[in-house]
Amino acid sequence: MCHLSVNINKLATIRNARGGDNPDLIRWAEMIQSYGAQGITIHPRPDERHIRRSDVVELKEVVHTEFNIEGFPSEDFMEMVLRIQPEQVTLVPDPPHVLTSNAGWDVISRHGELKPVIDRLREAGIRSSIFMDTDLEQMVALSQVKPDRVELYTQDYAEGYAKDREAARAPYVEAAKLAKEMGMGVNAGHDLDLSNLRYLYEGIPFLEEVSIGHALICDALLYGMDNTVKLYLRELR
């Protein structure tokens, strides 16, 4: 079964809109895990517009499933994750000002900066994952940096699903198969929801993890968090 990691950035955004501690991020992380999620994902950005650095420290104490920290591998980010020791670090190419992750890595031109980062994570016993589009030339270039996993950036799949779901999924299946042949695990994330998740998983049955935040939190407003986590888990069975 593919694991569900719930990205709780959106809960932090709601909290920060009013200040204080409501919703209580730490309590929600505990509850989301109790509802069956196999991981908690966060993406602490330099401006702390959602996840704060203090959250990262506190979450480490309560995340007993997989703790996945996403981010751009600046030196201060690397110092943080090496100190916190999450189970997985997902490297994204986001500059500080972007609203949300919107592209995979250009490994061909940036492998020189990525390889030392991945080596540092491996030496620390932290699983590395790298955010990637489905460009097969870029996927082949991963042989130069050797991450443990790739996370396929699924926005194009989500946007194309309603028009032609088979055509939308095809490049992801091909990229996932190539990654698997190269010895890497495969994760996926971005704009996955209850309507399109199962079809992607059916095409990539060896998918190890999906990271879902925005859609899941929105669905929780309708169905409640406990029920929503279970609905997403059902799509992955």
**pLDDT tens, 114-155?**
999 999 999 999 999 999 999 999 999 999 999 999 999 999
Is 190 one of the catalytic residues? yes
Q: Which of 3, 50, 66, 190 is catalytic?
A: 190
Give Cα 32 distance to the centre of its chain: 16
Residues 78-93, mean pLDDT to the nearest whole number: 97
Residues 68-73, mean pLDDT to the nearest whole number: 96
Give Cα 37 distance to the centre of its chain: 14
pLDDT-derived band at 94, boundaries 50, 70, 90? confident
For the chain, what is the total number of helices (H) and then of strands (E)?
11, 8
Q: Which of 3, 50, 66, 70 is catalytic?
A: 70
Q: Does 80 have pLDDT greater than 80?
A: yes
- Model confidence over 167-223: pLDDT tens digits? 999 999 999 999 999 999 999 999 999 999 999 999 999 999 999 999 999 999 999
d(CA 150, CA 172): 12
Q: What's the number of CA atoms in the CB half-sphere (13 Å) around residue 165?
A: 10
- Model confidence over 1-51: pLDDT tens digits? 899 999 999 999 999 999 889 999 999 999 999 999 999 999 999 999 999
Q: Does 61 have pLDDT greater than 60?
A: yes
Give the DSSP per-residue string, 84-144.
H--SEEEE----TT-SS------HHHHHHHHHHHHHHHHHTT-EEEEEE-S-HHHHHHGGG
Is 97 one of the catalytic residues? no
Is 43 one of the catalytic residues? yes
Q: Does 97 have pLDDT greater than 90?
A: no
Note the pLDDT of residue 103: 78
Q: Are 27 and 232 in contact (CB under 8 A)?
A: no
Q: What is the CATH number of domain 3-235?
A: 3.20.20.70
Q: Which of 43, 50, 151, 209 is catalytic?
A: 43
Q: Does 71 have pLDDT greater than 80?
A: yes
Q: Alpha helices, DSSP H only, in 187-237?
A: 197-203, 214-223, 225-235
Q: Are 161 and 196 in contact (CB under 8 A)?
A: yes
46 vs 97, 189, 190, CA distance in Å?
9, 21, 20
Note the pLDDT of residue 96: 60
Query: Across all residues in the chain, what is the average pLDDT?
Result: 95
pTM of the model: 0.95
Note the pLDDT of residue 33: 98
Note the pLDDT of residue 102: 65
